[in-house]
Chains A and B, each alone.
Chain A
């Protein structure tokens, strides 16, 4: 057996081993009916919005919860280490014109802080939303603040209503739960829920560039490149 074949076989063996490990390590992916998770968002002026998010997967990421909530959220994907939440509705920073943490450049510091409920108490999230997995019955919290204030403590039943049917993939209109003890400071910020879950590719918001493709701009770019190329050729000929 030649050396090249040996190394090729060895490499293929490694790849197969890794693949099989990944396949066996991954949990079975069958949907177990509809799950639900609660979302509590507290804005800078103290108003709180709750959403009940239904999902058919076993687990989804915290980022996906925000995507499906129907709230207008701006994410920063540029770091490569995870997703940052820059703006929810009106509070936050306008990426990419501003830094994602534009109001946290020193003291005072305000950004979208991330919490989740563990054993009936809020915990400041050590990981970003894209790295957190949300399971059935979890409650996620977002607060525009410095990380010390946690959102009002609500159970999934408070948010989704007891025994209420959960529509999968639909941003529940979050009727303000009728329980008086929990809803003292829960205000419905958006009276009309957004029209039935826009899929991500149809979500239209303000674009920085106006129309998606501005052909005249690209024609200008092509002219500049062609002119430079011609100049380069001329100069090269002159040198020779």
Chain B
């Protein structure tokens, strides 16, 4: 449908308002766009089942957070009822403002969950893994093994369960799970051995360009020093306001050192591609729209932070502020649903990963 990188850009743009704003109106618009995008892309994805569990988790969050906030924060003009003052922590007036604020805080978490659920449905993780930087190749490999390991384990657990059930075993309590766990463990170990053998057979690690020992030590020391410099630079900039310039120089220098070290590491890995992703015109459109929305949100936050935040407690109004232009910009996040085309078109178009088959 879309290129994974275009989806990543869309996710990045949509996540920004959820992180910066607790304003329920803006969050509501983002949620609505996420829902529309999900409704349009749903049929294509095998991962669509995760959507409802994300939804349930988010609703539970709202149902827990709003009453909790109302119980512990006793500020506001619209008082519903008053608990006795002598009750520790919860005593005091229970206000509408506190409920609204708790709900809108939870709504921002809910929005994040929703966006990631849509992203999960839209992009296959294995396609995403192709885009891990080369210097992280080991981490990418481990992630891909882990990602395939969990479904495989669940599958074999299901198989063992069925086999035991056929033999007449009933799973009722914790103690009945032993006949499930022991075969699961042995089959998992067996699979790990198989994986190791197949990696060995395919010459895992052999494609790495060797570095001279001196150079390898240099890269390691440079990475460690750069990370140390990065941490101390951040610390200096945020904590010692007098030494801002020193901290910034430290930050820039360590970033350059880190980039150099990663570059050398990346050159060691040679990657060949059997299938190439295709970047289509609508990927460009989606990327441009996402970048526009992200820039708008960032500029608004940099200029007037108050227009994104929402603070219902006195002396401010409990009615959330709303800017038509910002709301309209957020509504553009519906772009993937519009650009996806009809179902027939989608069926005719090859998925990007398969397209470049030689």
Tell me, yes or no, whether A binds B: yes
Chain A interface residues toward B at CB < 8 A: 22, 25-27, 29, 57, 74-75, 77-78, 80-81, 83, 95-98, 105-108, 130, 200-201, 203-209, 212-214, 217-218, 220-221, 224-225, 227-229, 231-232, 235-236, 238-240
Closest 6 CB pairs of A and B: A26-B86, A96-B311, A97-B306, A232-B36, A205-B315, A220-B324
Rounded to whole angstroms, the CA-CA distance of A239 and B36 in the bound complex is 12
Q: Number of contacts between A and B (CB, 8 Å)?
A: 134
Within 8 Å of chain A (Cβ to Cβ): is B137?
Answer: no
Most buried by B among A80, A207, A212: A80
Chain B residues with CB under 8 Å of A25's CB are 86
**Which of A97, A108, A130, A220 is B241 in contact with, Cβ under 8 Å?**
A108
Q: Given the interface contacts A208-B321, A220-B324, A232-B337, does A203 sit within 8 Å of B315 by beta carbon?
A: yes
For A73, give the chain B residue with the smallest CB separation.
Answer: B315
Rounded to whole angstroms, the CA-CA distance of A209 and B35 in the bound complex is 30
A208 touches B327 (CB 8 A): no
Chain A residues with CB under 8 Å of B32's CB are 225, 228-229, 232
Rounded to whole angstroms, the CA-CA distance of A220 and B328 in the bound complex is 9
**Which of B28, B321, B337 is A209 in contact with, Cβ under 8 Å?**
B321
Enumerate 14 A-B pairs (CB-CB under 8 Å) in ascending A order.
A74-B315, A80-B102, A107-B241, A203-B314, A207-B317, A209-B317, A209-B321, A212-B319, A218-B322, A225-B28, A228-B334, A232-B32, A232-B35, A235-B36
Q: Given the interface contacts A221-B322, A224-B331, A227-B331, does A200 sit within 8 Å of B314 by beta carbon?
A: yes
- The interface bits of chain B over 65-85 (1 if a CB of A lies within 8 angstroms of the residue's CB, else 0) are 000110011110100000011
For A130, give the chain B residue with the smallest CB separation.
Answer: B74
Size band of the interface chain B makes with A: 35 or more
**Which of B74, B86, B316, B319 is A27 in contact with, Cβ under 8 Å?**
B86
For B89, give the chain A residue with the smallest CB separation.
Answer: A131
- How many Å from the CB of A192 to the closest CB on chain B? 21
B39 touches A81 (CB 8 A): no
Residues 307-332 of B at the A interface (beta carbon under 8 Å)? 309-311, 313-317, 319, 321-324, 327-328, 331
A235 touches B85 (CB 8 A): no
Describe B's contact surface by its main secondary structure: helix
- How many Å from the CB of A218 to the closest CB on chain B? 7
- The interface bits of chain B over 14-38 (1 if a CB of A lies within 8 angstroms of the residue's CB, else 0) are 0000000000010011001101100
Chain B interface residues toward A at CB < 8 A: 25, 28-29, 32-33, 35-36, 39-40, 43, 68-69, 72-75, 77, 84-87, 98, 101-102, 238-242, 304-306, 309-311, 313-317, 319, 321-324, 327-328, 331, 334, 337-338, 342-343
Most buried by A among B25, B40, B68, B316: B316
**Which of A22, A95, A217, A228 is B33 in contact with, Cβ under 8 Å?**
A228
Chain A residues with CB under 8 Å of B77's CB are 200-201
Chain A residues with CB under 8 Å of B324's CB are 217, 220-221, 224
- How many Å from the CB of A67 to the closest CB on chain B? 10
Rounded to whole angstroms, the CA-CA distance of A96 and B86 in the bound complex is 31
- How many Å from the CB of B238 to the closest CB on chain A? 6
B75 touches A83 (CB 8 A): yes
B315 touches A204 (CB 8 A): yes
A236 touches B39 (CB 8 A): yes
Chain A residues with CB under 8 Å of B239's CB are 106-107
Chain B residues with CB under 8 Å of A98's CB are 305
